[in-house]
Amino acid sequence: MTRTLACLLCVGIITCGIPAFANPVFLSPSDYNPNQLLPSPPPEGSPAAAFEITELELIQEKRTSADFARADSDFKTRNGSIFAGVIGPKFVLSDLPATSKMLDDVRSDEDAAANVAKDFFRRKRPWIVDPALKSCSKLDAPDSSYPSGHSTMGYAMAVVLASLIPAKASAIMARASEYAENRLVCGMHRRRDIQAGQVLGTVIADLLLHNASFKIEYEAADKELQAKHVAE
């Protein structure tokens, strides 16, 4: 089977090595043209790209087993529960259905945006460039590194939650930064990948916060969080 035919057959399931796009809930792909939002990553073989790989090699040399375990836990967790530790013990998504629904929909929109960008840039994963890197997983598509999807999710959710819980805004944003940095500890992404995820996630959050339909879910989550005294 030719590559062209294979690509045509996998539409809707997988696009030539890039994960299938999530179904966005509120936004349209025209809202986040990656060519207009993100700079292209440095070309492979350039000094800038080589520097990023060197950074990952240094991180790998210095990381402890505890560092890797934390990064691996973040790798396996792709939902709003990553913020429970900084928001407080009352932030239990199973007890917060409106907030959980809102964050699930944020996840759908940011994931769709990240996959559009991944498909556009098709940057190689670090372990393709340096097979000696030990990463949390090597099951992701080999050309899906830019931007980091985890980082996009972390910042998209963080901006929304920080708006809802301003008393914890600083801690929420710091957790998003840590979550993104753990992609480097995991050896799954390079520095510019997580920086692009920060930009894209922030843009998606801002678009959602100005979306009339999303505001209905946002207001329901706001009432719920206040009623459950989550911010206290």
All structural domains of the chain with their residue ranges: 42-227
Amino acid at 176: A
Residue-by-residue pLDDT tens, the chain, 232 positions: 333 323 322 333 233 343 444 689 999 988 888 889 999 999 999 999 999 999 999 999 999 999 999 999 999 999 999 999 999 999 999 999 999 999 999 999 999 999 999 999 999 999 999 999 999 999 999 999 999 999 999 999 999 999 999 999 999 999 999 999 999 999 999 999 999 999 999 999 999 999 999 999 999 999 999 999 997 7
State the pTM of this model: 0.90
Position 34 scores a pLDDT of 87
> What local confidence, expressed as pLDDT, does residue 38 receive?
96
pLDDT on residue 35: 84
| Residue 119, pLDDT score | 95
Alpha helices in 1-132 (DSSP H): 3-9, 34-37, 47-62, 65-76, 84-87, 97-121, 126-129
- CA proximity to 152, closest of 216, 208, 116, 195: 195
**Position 60, amino acid:** Q
Give the Cα separation of 167 and 67 in Å (integer).
Answer: 28
Longest dimension (CA), the chain: 59
Instruction: Provide the 8-state DSSP code for 93.
Output: G
Query: So what CATH class is 42-227?
Result: mainly alpha
- Residue 51 to residue 191: CA distance in whole angstroms: 10
Q: Which residues of 160-191 are buried (b: 16+ CB within 10 A; e: fewer)?
A: bbbebbeebeebbbebbebbbbbbbbbbbbbb
139 closest CA partner among 58, 53, 76, 62: 76
Which letter, b or e, does each residue of 68-79 get, where b requires 16 or more Cβ atoms within 10 Å of its Cβ? Answer: bebbbebbeeee
